[in-house]
Structure 1
Amino acid sequence: MFQIVKETGWTWHYILWKVTRANIMLMMADRSHFKSGEKQEQEAIPDTGANLLKRYKAKQRK
């Protein structure tokens, strides 16, 4: 909600009493998302037939 106040310049009173809940939900769904954090390095797995079979069997065991 704070992001809507910040981006639109609307007051809390205006948002709570003049804007419909459906519009607020749509605005929140359309807002940009940013997730900061450390990137995890992924190990490259060669996709040979034997490696694919190992990965498939390992997933089935879980």
Structure 2
Amino acid sequence: MSGMWSRSRQRLAHILLASLLGVYLYSPLADMPLAELAVQVVVFPAVALSGVLMWQGHRLRARLR
């Protein structure tokens, strides 16, 4: 897979996960304990990890070669 498609898919995943986080923050879902747990354990760490990978991914891939 080319680098362009990889970055494009990564950006799309980051935007979708960040949208889920925004929906959680600005909707009545914040009152549900299960939604809160999902955001704390899955969504927020995934958004943070994808952001760091977009920022420093080229260095990580260079070190893994």
Specify if TM > 0.5.
no
Structure number with bigger Rg: 1
Higher helix proportion (structure 1 or 2): 2
TM-score by length of 2: 0.30
TM-score by length of 1: 0.31
Tell which has more relative contact order, 1 or 2 (C-alpha 8 A, sep 6+). 2
